[in-house]
A = this chain, B = another copy of it.
Amino acid sequence: MGTLESGATLESVAAAAGVSRQTVSNVLNAPERVAPQTRQRVQEAIESLRYRPNRSARSLRTRTSRLLGYCVQPAPEGAINPVLDRFVHALTESAADHGFHVLLFTAPPGAAGLDRYAELLAQRAVDGFVLSDTVVADPRPVWLTEQGVPFVAFGRSWSGPDHGRWVDVDGAAGIVEAVEHVHALGHRRVAFIGWPEGSGVGDDRLAGYLAACSRLGLTPLVERDEGGVEQGRAIAGALLDDPEPPTALVCVSDLSAYGALRAVAERGLRPGADVAVVGFDDTPAARLPGVELTSVSQPIEEVGRDAVHMLLGALGVVEPPPGPADHRLLRPTLVVRASTAISPEG
């Protein structure tokens, strides 16, 4: 039989300490109301009985579950970006610092998935939500705001006004840094391989590219594709086959960049020596020997921590950190590898 089948309760601890239930409760939730001597005695009883408050009972009474809901999406086909691992771990760890846990659930994308959120709310299963994989015109922030449900999103709402709290990574700033980096290496014909217009994240990164070109006096050269490796390979190939090809390819994602690297290699050119290639996301494959892709790295752990703090702040659990309470924009960092190692000739 297990040593924690005990099932100690407020009652049994009180009996062991020779006080009433309420005094034990006070020791846990309002220690200053209990005389030090009594407190000591109660704490010893708690220790010896290995007492822990029953979460369900506490939840029922306080009407808070100390659970944060997070919807896990299935990893998209061909995904190379294991964000979930890091983000979820950061969420879980930060939540634990304040006695909270993360509750996972699944939901279909779009408005159809709102039912799942409503269900958890109606059951009082969670105190709030952490959203990720937000898209343009995502119905969730609007709906949750209407319902008065505390939440925080990883990702801005790209269309219309902001709803609720969010944490995001400044993609434009990341691309600016990338362009400045290749510019500093001497590259003057710098192309951008982007996503189709209207993706929010993609438009933001493109904006960074255009801003950097403007500031540095470079002529923008933008190509767009659907973002896959093969598409990146084709687009990059077309660019390189131009009579006056770009010497640097800044890509909206690592996936495009892997395609670009391939296109470079297929033309007998050496990435980093003949053509610079930069990606975005710093996916695990970027560091593999033979790849060594320079890439913009997102501070995922920091996003997770900030998200939890903002949400717990909204729940009144922690003092909200200084700064704007409803959003936070974090700077990514450029990780330089061999794909942008050497200055071009000329």
Q: Do A289 and B103 touch across chains, with their CB atoms under 8 A apart?
A: no
Q: Do A88 and B103 touch across chains, with their CB atoms under 8 A apart?
A: no
Q: How far is the CB of A28 from chain B (nearest CB, A)?
A: 12
Stoichiometry, copies per complex? 2
Per a CB cutoff under 8 Å, which of B1, B75, B92, B125 touches A101? Answer: B125
Determine the distance from Cα of A166 to Cα of B3 in the docked complex, in whole angstroms.
24
Given contacts A105-B96, A284-B285, contact A56 B59 (CB under 8 A): yes
* CB-contacts of A140-188 with B (<8 A): 146-149
A50 beta carbon closer than 8 Å to chain B = yes
A248 beta carbon closer than 8 Å to chain B = no
Q: Do A147 and B3 touch across chains, with their CB atoms under 8 A apart?
A: yes
Q: Do A55 and B125 touch across chains, with their CB atoms under 8 A apart?
A: yes
A104 partner residues in chain B, CB cutoff 8 A: 88, 91-92, 101-104
* CB-contacts of A200-239 with B (<8 A): 229-230, 233
Determine the distance from Cα of A155 to Cα of B250 in the docked complex, in whole angstroms.
42
A contact residues, range:
35 or more
Given contacts A101-B125, A105-B96, contact A259 B2 (CB under 8 A): no
Majority DSSP secondary structure for residues of A touching B: mixed
Given contacts A102-B104, A104-B101, contact A123 B53 (CB under 8 A): yes
Residue of B nearest to A124 (CB): B54
Q: Do B4 and A288 touch across chains, with their CB atoms under 8 A apart?
A: no
A51 partner residues in chain B, CB cutoff 8 A: 122
A244 beta carbon closer than 8 Å to chain B = no
Per a CB cutoff under 8 Å, which of B1, B73, B78, B149 touches A284? Answer: B78
A85 beta carbon closer than 8 Å to chain B = yes
Chain A interface (Cβ < 8 Å from any Cβ of B): 1-6, 50-57, 59-60, 65, 67, 72-75, 78-80, 82, 84-86, 88-89, 91-93, 96, 101-106, 118-119, 121-125, 146-149, 229-230, 233, 258-259, 261-262, 265, 283-285, 287-291
